[in-house]
Amino acid sequence: MASRPTLAKVALTAGVSKTTASYVLNGQKKMSAETTRRVKEAARRLGYRLDASASGLSRGRTQVVGVLTGKTVTELVTGSNSLFWLRLNDSFVQRCSEEGLVVAFAGEDRAQALIDSGVDTLIVLGSHGLEAFEGLRVPFGLPIISVDPIPDHDNVQLSYDNDAIAALVAGHFAEQGASHLAWVSAAGSEAVFAILVAALTNWATDNGMDFSCHVYDGLPDLQASIHEALDAGADGIFAMCGTPKRITEAIADRGLSIPDDILLVMQSEGAIEESMTPQLSNFSYLGTEAGITIAEMCVDVVKNGTHPTQLDLNFELVARESSLRTD
């Protein structure tokens, strides 16, 4: 039986001292990018794993799940798509607590301190969390859970199937007779939804539907973006925002009715859509379910040391009066 690869063997393979290899793999000291690359590459090639007794990564040692937001939790749950984040956060923390795990949040200013304190896994939340993650000293082998791929780390990528979302949403509009779908979203969200927009564009092209994007900068500009979409010929609007009343008012301003003239689907968690007139269709990323799913994966990481390389999250479209035509 082959002997277990040692730190000394990793150091020899990488052409560095044992101390330097230890610094890199334990995240104790920031080394040059080239040295870090060589040491981690050698460790992966040899199948090296940190000694649980010598690192803060032993299963069950800390029972702490770190969450790197780049923002405060308050900023997340009061910003764009706030209900999604609120529901995800609540269900995630509750499920972790039920399994005896502690959840520790940190913004950019506390990111390194959080990692140094010892966490069993780290969740990098959104683009702001990814920015905060860059340049941090991270122990080799620490599972990193994120939406965006993070090279050179033990990464679990959270994923929504954007092609399936595009087919579901755009397909629904097409079935109800729409020929031009407009996507409306707030400025600053373009990068977050870039893959979804590409998927919608491809679906529309493949299925003979016109597609346009309209970005608004702040709520006062929202109605102008809706008018812009209507001027472009849209007869279906997929709105990625949480202000349905402003959207319906902007459509009414043009003397148009929902759903006879304009089909409307909101991207939201479905808190008020059913109470509006007409009842609004909504597409949801299912924040509560996402929180539970991510928490259960963290439990597997901490207690069993196992995890997938990708975790697919669920979504749903609830069709109501605003996107259903009776004739």
Q: Under a CB-based contact definition with an 8 Å cutoff, are residues 124 and 133 in contact?
A: yes
Give me the pLDDT at residue 63, please: 86
CA–CA dist 235, 259 (Å, integer): 9
CA–CA dist 326, 235 (Å, integer): 16
Give me the pLDDT at residue 53, please: 38
- Give Cα 32 to chain centroid, integer Å: 30
Phi, psi of 221 (to 5 degrees): -90, -5
CATH 3.40.1160.10 for the 162-284 domain, yes or no: no
Q: At what angle do helices 82-98 and 287-304 cross, to 10 degrees?
A: 30
Q: Rounded to 5 degrees, what angle do the CA atoms 58, 64, 68 make?
A: 115
Q: List the pLDDT tens digit at each of the 327 positions of the chain.
A: 456 677 777 777 777 776 777 777 766 567 777 887 787 787 777 767 655 434 444 444 688 898 887 655 555 544 555 778 888 889 999 999 998 888 998 877 788 888 888 888 888 876 666 777 777 777 777 888 887 777 667 778 888 899 999 999 999 999 999 999 999 988 766 666 888 999 999 999 999 999 999 988 877 788 899 999 999 999 999 998 768 888 999 999 999 999 999 999 998 887 778 788 899 999 999 989 999 999 998 888 888 777 777 888 999 999 999 999 876
Q: Which residues of 287-298 are buried (b: 16+ CB within 10 A; e: fewer)?
A: bbbbbbbbbebb
Task: Of 179, 178, 149, 183, give the one whose Cα is nearest residue 166.
Answer: 183
Whether 162-284 and 64-160+288-315 are alike in CATH topology: the answer is yes
- CATH code for the domain defined by 64-160+288-315: 3.40.50.2300
| For the chain, domain boundaries | 64-160+288-315, 162-284
